[in-house]
């Protein structure tokens, strides 16, 4: 599978489609999921064109990977979730329930 530049998150990254932004830096964009499954439900996506977590872990350079997970750590604090608790979920592939083929994590909490 090759990365499709026309996927919806690529369009959000290019500002062709709006999003409800929560956080942004050089490495990631984070925004509210359009169809929340929890009281807090944000998505965190890297700015690099990786299809899914397997592609990201295999092919993204170390700085990109560290930048991504450090940003997730910042967002956990930004949303006040460090003590309250949260769930992180990611889907890989159609059989894994993935719908948008730009790597993303779901960060969710009912607190």
Q: Which residues bind ligand AMP (CB under 6 A)?
A: 8, 17, 19, 31, 33-35, 43, 91, 97-100
Could you tell me if 11 and 21 are in contact, meaning their C-beta atoms sit under 8 angstroms apart?
Answer: no
Q: Is 104 designated active site?
A: yes
In the complex with ligand AMP, the residue whose CB is nearer, 31 or 86, is 31
Given the residues 41, 102, 104, 106, select the one marked as catalytic: 104
Instruction: In whole angstroms, give the CA distance from residue 55 to residue 48.
Output: 11
Closer Cβ to ligand AMP, 19 or 81, answer by number = 19
Compare residues 63 and 69 and give the one whose CB is closer to ligand AMP.
69
**105: helix, coil or strand?**
strand
Task: State how far the Cα of 57 lies from the Cα of 103, in Å rounded to an integer.
Answer: 10
* Smallest distance, ligand AMP to C-beta of residue 18, A: 8
Whole-angstrom CA distances from 109 to 23, 42, 47, 69 are: 17, 9, 24, 18
Beta carbon of residue 83, minimum distance to ligand AMP (angstroms, whole number): 25
* CA–CA distance, 90 with 106 (Å, rounded to integer): 6
Catalytic residues: 104
């Amino acid at each position: 599978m090759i990365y499709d530049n026309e996927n919806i998150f690529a369009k959000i990254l290019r500002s062709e489609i709006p999003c409800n932004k929560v956080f942004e830096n050089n490495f990631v964009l984070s925004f509210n999921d359009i169809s929340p499954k929890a009281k807090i439900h944000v998505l965190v996506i890297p700015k690099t064109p990786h299809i899914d977590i397997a592609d990201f872990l295999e092919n993204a350079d170390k700085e990109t990977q560290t930048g991504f997970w450090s940003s997730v750590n910042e967002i956990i604090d930004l949303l006040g979730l460090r003590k309250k608790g949260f769930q992180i979920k990611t889907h890989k592939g159609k059989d894994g329930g993935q719908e948008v083929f730009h790597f993303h994590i779901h960060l969710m909490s009912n607190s």
